[in-house]
Homo-oligomer: A and B are copies of this chain.
Amino acid sequence: MVDASGDVFLLPGPVKMDPRVLQAMSVPAMNHRGPEFKEVLSEIRALTQYMFGTNGEVAVLSGSGTAGLEAAVSGLVRKEDRVLNLVNGKFSERFHELCQVFARPTALTFEWGSAVDPRQVAAALDADEFKAVTVCWNETSTGLTNPIAEIAKVVKARDAFLLVDGITAVAGLENRMEAWGIDALVMGSQKCLAAPPGLSAVALSKRAYESLHSDTSFYTNLKAHVDALAKQDTPFTPAVPLFLAFREALRLLKAEGLETRITRTSRLAEAARAAIDALGLELYPDRRYASNTVTAIRYPPGIDDAKFRKELRERHRTIVAGGQAQLKGQIFRIGHMGICSFKDLEAGFAAFEATLATMGHPSPHGAAPSAIEKRA
């Protein structure tokens, strides 16, 4: 089963979309202040709470994941506040850069491919006063999932806000935001939800909602977005077609069931890791923390990244991502979140196997796809 485009589309986002989600966008202009769109927003709010597993306040912003992160940071901390940024990849670095605009951040860094160590977080929080801690739950750049429950426990015990980039985590990884004590959790439309890119959503704890201020943001003013949505409205003109597609993707998530999607995502990840073993390749991150939504794979010696991905694209219509920043040329990355199927993964790994073989890295024929099929 390949994408409607005929491609095997395995990016770590945007991801393959259901035809119903695509079709939801192509509708004539709608009055975003009229009764019809109020119903859309009402349904979106309820289903967004379902997606986050919360009864608390949520917002949906007309802006991609970074807009959601900015809304959380700018709404909860102020320029004079110290913020501890846990950094172990490109997206947690970006979170740190964002905090430089809105707060006084300090980066606590960990090697790329290794997880955030909660004990070091505890030590940093014990040594200094921080208003908030940021973490990238699932580091898309390294294919690594940080131990969010343990990190949250440490942060909660020290009374700081915990702001979480869950862009490639929410609706793909097990989430107990209320029990764990996450204060702001951000998702991106084009990842585990499998909607088009361009929207982000934020879920807040009760104490976070009560602390929101409006001093340093306008377009991403989180309080304005949350309060408007509670009244089936938006503070500014919403990206209507994306909201319609987002609603459709949420309906599909609800129909599949959140738990079912998370379990299926985890089985796909296990199958991908088994197939990597069958190809004689290595995972990039610490295997104990390997992500269930994004898999990052080291190139074997002699395999050129640009050539490999060009071959995949042109001969096998298979789309994967390369490495970012210092990992450029060293790894490639695949997404298996959202509505990705075992057949998608099988087709992808068959293409990897064939391409690696022509480039001087042969492996037993059919071993990788069959490793996936066995787990389907």
Contacts and interface: CB of A to CB of B under 8 A. Distances in A.
Given A28-B3, A29-B16, A70 B238 contact: no
Nearest to A74: B218
Interface string A300-338: 000000000000010000010100000000000000000
A215 interface: yes
A249 to B, nearest CB: 12
B241 A196 contact: yes
Contacts of A17: 28-29
Interface in A78-99: 97-98
Nearest to A313: B34
Interface in A237-282: 237-242, 245
B236 A239 contact: no
Interface in A22-45: 22-23, 25-34
A53 interface: no
Contact of A239 (B15, B27, B239): B239
Listed residue (A62, A70, A237) with the most chain B CB atoms within 10 angstroms of its CB: A237
A241 B25 CA distance: 9
B241 A66 contact: no
A197 B32 contact: yes
Given A5-B27, A29-B17, A63 B62 contact: yes
B28 A218 contact: no
Given A218-B66, A218-B98, A239 B198 contact: yes
A220 interface: yes
A218 B97 contact: yes
Nearest to A98: B218
B34 A319 contact: yes
